[in-house]
Amino acid sequence: MLPCLDEAPRIGGLIATLQSLHPGVDILVVDDGSTDETAEVASAAGAAVIRLPYNLGYGAALQTGYKYALEQGYDRLVQMDGDGQHPPDEVGTLLELLDGGEVDLAVGSRFLGRADYRIPRSRRVGIRMFAWLTSRLAGQCITDPTSGLQAMNRRMLSFYQQDFYPWDYPDADMLLRVHYAGFRFREVPVVMKGGPPGKSMHSGLRPIYYVYKLMLSLFLTWLSGMGRGRG
């Protein structure tokens, strides 16, 4: 499942690579209100396409895919960004862990030693801060709490399709919810690429909102988990 916003120059090649590496795989593109030809290119490449009426947000696009997978009877789903940051050859890495039956959710981590993932210093500091905080609250080491490269089983899909799932930035707070709900998740080392130049969900004033929103959500999730006797 690929949530996309204005990815027409990249989505066709990404779909073709996925089809080559994983013959017979079903690919869903959720077009989150693109203003270019993302949906048309994806459809022509052989993907199923859901077009949202306007830009609802990254989390809303993801949840649309979860609900579609549940309605269509799928037992597992891999989500990856449509901008090429998540290499298709890492899909097998996630599925190997998921299909082992030891976890409900496999999360690809850029920071577990397979490659030196280069990002701006300010963003790296932010990721490390949230990784430290989430690790403390969850009681297990988490290195990449903002990773959007994930594989999940049907139990996890059912959990993620509920109303509490954020419409904008589902990151560290969702991993904490997963932990408090009793699901099993683990990170697996993957190699990721940098996103396209000038294209980021965290540009302008959005980083300020993101930090505020995520800190508040982590605190409320922690309180909720403590109320259920976890923490």
**CA 16 – CA 52 distance, rounded (Å):** 23
Please tell me the number of Cα atoms within 13 Å of 145 on its side-chain side. 33
- Burial tier of 202 (Cβ tally within 10 Å: 0-12, 13-18, 19+): middle
Neighbouring residues of 160: CB distance < 8 A, sequence distance ≥ 6: 62, 63, 66, 152, 174
For the chain, the distance separating the N- and C-terminal CA atoms, rounded to the nearest angstrom, is 32
Contact (Cβ atoms closer than 8 angstroms) between residue 102 and residue 151: no
> Whole-model pTM?
0.86
Would you say residue 36 has pLDDT above 80? yes
Instruction: Specify the CATH number of the domain 2-227.
Output: 3.90.550.10
Q: What pLDDT does residue 195 have?
A: 63
Run of H or E including 52? none
The token pair that represents 98 in the structure block: 């998921």
Instruction: For residue range 144-199, list pLDDT tens digits in order.
Output: 998 999 999 999 999 999 999 999 888 889 999 999 999 999 999 999 887 665 55
Bridge partners of residue 152, in order along the sequence = 77, 105
Check the CA dihedral 106-112-117-119 and report its sign.
positive
Task: Give residue limits of the domains in the chain.
Answer: 2-227
Neighbouring residues of 90: CB distance < 8 A, sequence distance ≥ 6: 108, 149, 190, 191, 192
Mean pLDDT along residues 17-26: 96
Would you say residue 88 has pLDDT above 60? yes
- Burial tier of 165 (Cβ tally within 10 Å: 0-12, 13-18, 19+): middle
